[in-house]
Structure 1
């Protein structure tokens, strides 16, 4: 039986040595401060090629000076076999001078019938490098976010602002004296307006929707009224910071698009309005006419007027285009002033204008309206010292409930009716009425 016990003990010792030799963590044994054993992993950490390079060396040789005294204090507290120190981070010095970050645990143990300290060494080099890389990435990200023109803010689940970049404060119009981080979204000195400029409940703010439902919101447009009274339009996106993590925060990014919207409205206006008179241009007025024809019995436009200034060419020829342009601008203004609010007037080009009358005025209303237009245009115009009288010929055509004409055909009929106003002889067939104006004259 004694032989079996000896054999079992030898097998156990062999398995222990095998585990120690192949352990990924370093294991070093020192007795009275002298290294008496180191496994291959410990040799790699110590920068030794073989065991002979470390045996007999004092353990302090491999410990950074800043960590020697704390080490002595830890192991001095181990008074009984099997006592172990708490895992502690420290820095070792390899034989080639490298500083190696490690985590160590020291255990008071029996070594060849004597007490020694067995140290388990976990190399933290890769972990520390990863942590440094993460810190650099975080610093880089923070630097990039802080330089963005786009506002970025992170909100906790209760709506408290966890972080915000400088652009967020600038867009919100909140000065440095007002705390932003730590404030709740409901406490910000901002009025929220929807896309139509009406007051918007704060629970409809994109980040509030994201926090309550987990929904990702993209390019949501609304306006804020800042503490300085300015109204700014924002395009906002928000999403959960870590969708797979319960109770995660939300990140919100937003861009001030006020100038962009103003520029787009200006471009749209320029694309649909005559640059000289500010009236609807040919494209817009014909598009409105096309829409009226497509509306069939429910159309809002019932009457189309074609207006041509009489003798306008002689004004350009004798007085120059600058005065001619002034006349056109004044005529356009007078037309708008004489028409009703729902009527639309546009410039087709040159001295030709088209009017779309809203509703369905009867003859008793139409004739006074036409006369009012002619009277408004007949008022003398004073331009650069010249007194100019301008009259107009007006052709009228009506849109019937079952009208199948194209916009071009309607325009042709109104044009023909207008030319009848200029000449007593009918030159072409059409569904329109002529109203003659007097010849223009210049004095």
Structure 2
């Protein structure tokens, strides 16, 4: 049976052959038998139909063929007479020829001399209209040739799992020729695997339920030097009766692009000379420890500056200085654990991040170890070089909001060590924490906040900064504490996250915000397409009934799922990426979209970002603040925006406060933004007023933006 092609290529590539009924009609050929003297012995109705015979076929029997010819159309008469006269003048063996009629029909004409029977010495012609057959053959040949030239691999597999088509792209990808591949099962000639078991289960499920699937695979064959990363799309082919007929697969080799992307990311975050993480990577990691998903993890930071390094460069040359820096990197790595980070900040400055160390005693032990290593001579170009260093230490960083502040204080302590005589270390002394009794009391009060109706939903606008339009809000939790007043999440959320209390807070805010969006939708035409973004804590994300709860609040409110963004952080991916992806898929099945919140404050996502079923990257506000410091912040920010754009993910910049920041982000082609430049978080009533007057207040902001001098990175 024939296979119907149902992919994006369209039906013009693999057209359906004639049905059995059509083939049967085409197989009814015109038949003409003449005696040796040219008398008509037999002529059938198909002949009459082919050549427009004006009389009934039986009326032509026993008559001379010329009388038969006279009853045909003019064009047909000439052709038939010519064929007959040639055979009457000379005997011939069987042969076949194709003849094109003036009306465009193509006839296949078979001649058979009659050698036995009552009509021995007679002649037989069989006329078959093969116009459609030839067109079909030409189409198949054209399409096969066309597909063979496609650079992507195009493969078809029949219902018995045998390869039936294998183009040049497939040959180039696998090393197998079409002759070697056709007829075999894909499993016979290559091995393939999905990135995760969940991906494999999801792929077969989609093929079964929807008839199509697209995603990433890794394949290898005996002819490929290494594994190849591919993107593939597969479509189920159907037989004429609608039953399963096989699979069409279109495959693209993404290996080079993936490797190049990985190299670009690696170069962006590593020092080219030593191979160590660079300042950008260190700041990214510290951001995660201070305000990202690893906030709460203990750490200490050592800032090392080599003493008198300039003398090495000046006396022996920069090549010797570079050699010394590489040897220094090796020694520092010998002093720490695999989980710790040694980074080169630039020049002769290094930083050592000690994970899970937050006491001066343990941190000083590491500093002593480094000092002892530096007292040993370095051998550079057959010379002994002594180069010690001064170290500044920040013990514990839980009270910092910005990574740069940690680095700043460690740097200040390092300069204090230099002022104190060099080749030593100093600790930056700063301690501040909430008393245990205060935390306990606050947790007790927070547990009663819901029943006491003390929680409030606030909303901060999200603006399309490329078009200057309000597109939605982020819902933010506030606690109307009876004695402390309105409290923001950073004052109490860490307490809630230590228990399942955070799940109750998240669910309260979600339902309240979605219900509010439903009310606005009925009140204002401008609110009909607005979205609402909801923060999802790690505990809430891992709750077993999360997807069901999302579906419930959507059903109760009547809001379409596409207007809801669930914001998760990079931390949900770190421990179990496969489980995180599976949960995201369950949530997205409700129709909602997913954002990665505070992107850039963790680093797990660099390796798995392209695998995540996400729609938006929300860039952490620390990158926006860093932009105004005129250091590497602008470069880091642009790297993130470019990464998002390359993955076809829109970016939302958080914490926009100045026209200058807005101008830079628009130049970087960041799609969305939010921050105090547009509006601080507002309660429901003020947010409704904002929607009502959205065109006015947004236009005023962007009129001012056009007046702002364009900032160049």
Give runs of aligned pairs for residues 80-229 of structure 1, distance below 5 A. 101-102=106-107, 124=129, 128=131, 131-174=133-176, 179-186=180-187, 188-195=188-195, 212-218=208-214, 220-227=215-222
Residue aligning to 2:231 = 235
The CA deviation string for residues 39-66 of structure 1, in whole angstroms up to 9 with x for no partner, is 7xx53643xxxxxxx6xx9x95154779
CA drift at 1:386: 2.3
Residues 1:349 and 2:352 aligned together: no
CA drift at 1:273: 0.6
In structure 1, runs of 5+ residues without a counterpart are 1-22, 47-53, 70-88, 105-120, 435-443
- Separation in structure 2 between the aligned mates of residue 221 and residue 90 of structure 1, nearest angstrom: 52
Give runs of aligned pairs for residues 245-256 of structure 1, distance below 5 A. 245-256=242-253
- Separation in structure 2 between the aligned mates of residue 181 and residue 297 of structure 1, nearest angstrom: 52
The CA deviation string for residues 86-109 of structure 1, in whole angstroms up to 9 with x for no partner, is xxx996787x9x9963599xxxxx
CA drift at 1:157: 2.3
Instruction: Using the TM superposition, name which of 134-143 and 392-401 deviates more.
Output: 134-143
CA pair 353-169 structure 1, distance change in 2 beyond 3 A: same
Q: Report the RMSD for the aligned CA atoms in angstroms.
A: 4.0
Residue aligning to 1:372 = 369
Equivalenced residue count is: 348
Residue aligning to 2:73 = 43
- Separation in structure 1 between the aligned mates of residue 53 and residue 415 of structure 2, nearest angstrom: 109
CA drift at 1:214: 4.5
Are the equivalent residues in 2 in contact too, given 1:100–1:123 (CA < 8 A)?
Answer: no
CA pair 183-204 structure 1, distance change in 2 beyond 3 A: farther
Are the equivalent residues in 1 in contact too, given 2:155–2:170 (CA < 8 A)?
Answer: yes
The CA deviation string for residues 172-215 of structure 1, in whole angstroms up to 9 with x for no partner, is 344789x53222344x143333326xxx6997595x66764443
CA pair 65-211 structure 1, distance change in 2 beyond 3 A: farther
CA pair 162-91 structure 1, distance change in 2 beyond 3 A: closer
Aligned to 1:249, the other structure's residue is in SS state strand
Residue aligning to 1:410 = 406
- Separation in structure 2 between the aligned mates of residue 287 and residue 160 of structure 1, nearest angstrom: 50
Residues 1:27 and 2:53 aligned together: yes
- Separation in structure 1 between the aligned mates of residue 364 and residue 404 of structure 2, nearest angstrom: 25
The CA deviation string for residues 337-363 of structure 1, in whole angstroms up to 9 with x for no partner, is 211111112111111112221013433
Give runs of aligned pairs for residues 63-82 of structure 1, distance below 5 A. 63=83
- Separation in structure 2 between the aligned mates of residue 388 and residue 364 of structure 1, nearest angstrom: 30
CA pair 324-37 structure 1, distance change in 2 beyond 3 A: closer
CA drift at 1:153: 1.2
Structure showing greater Rg: 1
Are the equivalent residues in 1 in contact too, given 2:217–2:229 (CA < 8 A)?
Answer: yes
Residues 1:269 and 2:266 aligned together: yes
In structure 2, runs of 5+ residues without a counterpart are 1-48, 90-95, 110-125, 431-713
- Separation in structure 2 between the aligned mates of residue 243 and residue 280 of structure 1, nearest angstrom: 56
Q: What TM-score comes out, normalization by structure 2 length?
A: 0.43
Q: What TM-score comes out, normalization by structure 1 length?
A: 0.66
